[in-house]
Structure 1
Amino acid sequence: MYVDPPAPQPRQPGEKPPASSSANPLDGQPRTWEFNPEYQRLVTAWQTVLPLLDTLTTSLDKAYQLARSPQTWDAPVGKRYVEDIAQWRSRLALYRQAVLTSISDEAADTPRWIPSSAGAPHAFQ
């Protein structure tokens, strides 16, 4: 069984945007920040996919347990069905790991906060 990668964290109540650094002389200008909509999309994707994957895993685990029961199968073909379900379970585990890892990796590379263009002065408007 695999361990799920770290989930992207949604914006917490009271969470503040990053403080401006003074390395750039233009940082003295007021800057507004907004929670990155791309990061929020990844949070939503994680929250949508995880319950679906859990439902699939639970369903296959239940079918596997029932198939392994000697009361379910009374024929040699039952062993083949149990092996098939075991392969489906391992494929689902690999699929789950791949999907959640791709979301987690993308979230790790996506900034949580981005500078907002709202209220910023623009030339030639």
Structure 2
Amino acid sequence: MYADPPAPRAKGRDEVPPITSTGPLEDPQRAWRFNPDYERLVVAWNTVMPHLETLKTTLDKAYAMARSPQTWDAPVGERYVEDLREWRDRLARYRLSVLTTISDEASDTPRWVQTTANAPHAFP
């Protein structure tokens, strides 16, 4: 079984832009906002997880039922168990692929970006 990669973190209620060692931010003329691209990755993760969990739960239930000696009374049943085992493995690899892609993209995307909105200007 595979372990899920780290999920992108949603913006906390009291989270503020990062503060550097030289002061509140590198450029005081710029305002900061939570990166909308990063937010999309958080939404993508939260959207796909329930679907992957539903698929996993359904396949696990079918696999458990197929392995039960009360379900199959013929040797042909082992073929169906093997098919379900293969589908469970495929789903696990697909899940790892999708979640790793989102996680890798989130690790390469900054959480905060500078914006010119609400920045002080010399002329109104």
1:30 maps to 2:29? yes
Aligned-pair RMSD on alpha carbons?
2.0
Q: Once superposed, which parts of structure 1, at least 4 consecutive aligned residues long, lie more than 4 Å away?
A: none
Identical amino acids, percent of aligned pairs: 64
> Amino acid of the residue matched to residue 117 of structure 1?
T
Deviating more after overlay: 13-22 vs 101-110: 13-22
Who is 2:2 aligned against? Answer: 2
Deviation digits for residues 12-59 of structure 1 (CA, Å, limit 9, x no counterpart):
01101122575xxx83x4221010000000000000111110110000
The unaligned stretches of length 5 or more in structure 2 are none
Gaps of 5+ in 1: none
Question: Hey, what's the Cα distance between the residues in 1 that align with 2:11 and 2:120?
Answer: 27
Please name the residue that 2:46 is paired with: 47
Letter of the 1:37 counterpart: P
The one-letter code of the counterpart of 2:39 is Q
TM-score (norm 1): 0.88
Amino acid at match of 1:68: R
Answering whether residue 102 of structure 2 is matched by residue 97 of structure 1, we say: no
Question: Can you list the C-alpha shifts for 1:97-118, whole angstroms capped at 9, x where unaligned?
Answer: 0000000000000000000121
Q: CA deviation at 1:121?
A: 6.9
Q: In the alignment, what sits opposite 2:15?
A: 15
1:70 alignment partner in structure 2: 69
TM-score, normalised to structure 2, is 0.89
The whole-number CA distance in structure 2 between the counterparts of 1:86 and 1:119 is 56
> Is this contact kept in 1: 2:29–2:120, CA < 8 A?
no
SS of 1:34's partner is strand
